Structure 1
C-alpha cells in the first residue's frame, strides 16, 4: 500500500497513526496539494489527502473511510468495536474531532488564501465558534476518563489527539490547554506513544 499525504495534514496524521498502531507496512509519499505541479488529481478527484493506493492500484479516499478499513486488516491494536452502539459512539468522537478540524481549516484557508480586504471576519468568527464549541463538547464527553471511550485506547483518541495537535500547530493562540485541562492531559499521554511522536505535524 501507498499513502499519499502531507506532513502537516491532521487527517493524514490520523491515518499514519493508525498504520503505525496496527503495524501495517505502507509507503508514505508526500504530496503538496497546493503546489502548481501537484498530481493529487490522479488519486483523488476532490484534490484532497489522504489517499490510500491499494495493492491492486485502486484508491481509497477520506481519512474516516481509510482508518475504518485499516482496522479490519489485522487484530493488532483494535481501534473500533465490531458493531453496535459502542462502535457508533467511537465514530461520533471521530466525526466531532474532524468537524472541528474542518472549521479550523476553513479559517486558515480564509486567512492564507484570500487577500486581507476580501476576508470575512464574520464568517471566520462563525467557524471559530464551532471550534470552541467542539472543544467544550470534547472536554465534557471526556470528563475524568483515561481515554475517550473509557479505559481503552481507541480510534476516538487518535482522532481527538490529531485534532488537538493540529490546533496547537496552526492556532497557538487558541488556549485549549488552559481552558480544558483534561484534554491537555489526554494529549500529553497520547504524545508519549511512538505513533504520535513519529507523525508530529510540520
Structure 2
C-alpha cells in the first residue's frame, strides 16, 4: 500500500496512525498537493489527500472510506465497535472532531491564501464560532480514559490530530481550561507507538504566511 499525502494534513496523519496501529505495512508518497498538483491529480482526480493506493493498484479516496477498508483488514484491536450504540457513539465523536477540523482549516486557509484586505471577517468569525462550538461539544461528550470509553478508537485519533493542528496553526478558540480534557487526551495519545510512528518530518510542515 502507498499512503499519499503529507502528515501536516490531520486526515492524512489519522490514516497513518490507523495503519501503524493495525500493523499494516505501507510506503509513502509525500508529494505536495500544491507544488505537485498535476502529478497527484493522476492519482486522486480531485487532487485531495489522503489517498491510499492498494497493492492491486486500486486507489481509495476520502479518509472515512479508507478507514472503512482498513477496519475490514484488521484482525485485532479494532478502532471502532462492530455495531450498535457504541459504534454510533464513536462515529459521532469522530464526525464532531472532523467537522471542527474543517472549520479550523477554513480559517487557516482564508488567512494563508488571502491578503488581510481580501478576507471575509464575517466568514472567519462564523468558522471560529463553529470551531469553538465543536470543541465545547466534544468536551461535553468526552468519556474517560479515552474519548468513547476504555479503549482507543478512531475518535481519539481524530481528536488528537485536530488538537495538534490547532496548536500548530490556529489555537485561539482552543481554551487550556475549557478544553483541558481534550488537550490531556491528545497529549496522552501522542505518546502511543502508532502516533509516534506517524510524527511529522520538518519538510511536511505547512509554511506559515
TM-score range, shorter chain: over 0.9
C-alpha distance in structure 1 between counterparts of 2:153 and 2:36, whole Å: 38
Whole-angstrom CA distance in 2 between matches of 1:26 and 1:36 = 21
Q: Does 1:187 align with 2:191?
A: no
Assess if the C-alpha contact under 8 Å between 2:166 and 2:174 holds in 1: no
Match of 2:15 in 1: 15
Q: Which residue of 2 aligns with 1:4?
A: 4
Aligned equivalent of 2:24: 24
CA distance in structure 1 between the partners assigned to 2:159 and 2:38 by the alignment: 29
Contact 2:128–2:173 (8 Å) recurs in 1: no
* Contact 2:49 2:61 (8 Å CA) reproduced: yes
Distance 2:127 2:59 in 1: 31
Change (3 A) 1:53 1:87: same
Residue 178 of structure 1 corresponds to 177
CA displacement, residues 10-34 of structure 1 (integer Å, 9 cap, x when unaligned): 0001001000100100111102111
C-alpha distance after superposition, 1:89-129 (max 9, x if no partner): 21111111111111111111111111221110110110011
Q: Say yes or no: does 1:146 pair with 2:145.
A: yes
C-alpha distance in structure 1 between counterparts of 2:128 and 2:39, whole Å: 31
How far residue 151 of structure 1 moved from its aligned partner, in angstroms, is 1.1
Moved over 6 A (4+): none
Residue 38 of structure 1: how far off its partner (Å): 4.2
Residues 36 and 30 (structure 1), Cα distance of their counterparts in 2 relative to 1, 3 Å cut: closer
Query: Structure 2, unaligned stretches of length 5 or more?
Result: none
TM-score, normalised with respect to structure 1: 0.93
Matched, 1:164 2:141: no
Q: Give distance in 1, aligned partners of 2:37 and 2:44.
A: 15
Q: Tell me how many residue pairs correspond in the alignment.
A: 201
Instruction: Give the match's secondary structure for 2:52.
Output: strand
- Report the more deviating stretch, 11-20 or 174-183: 174-183
Q: CA deviation at 1:46?
A: 1.5
Counterpart mapping for 1:24-173 below 5 A: 24-35=24-35, 38-143=38-143, 145-173=144-172
TM-score between both structures, scaled by the size of structure 2: 0.90
| Whole-Å separation in 1 of the counterparts to 2:174 and 2:62 | 29
In 1, Cα distance between equivalents of 2:80 and 2:11: 17
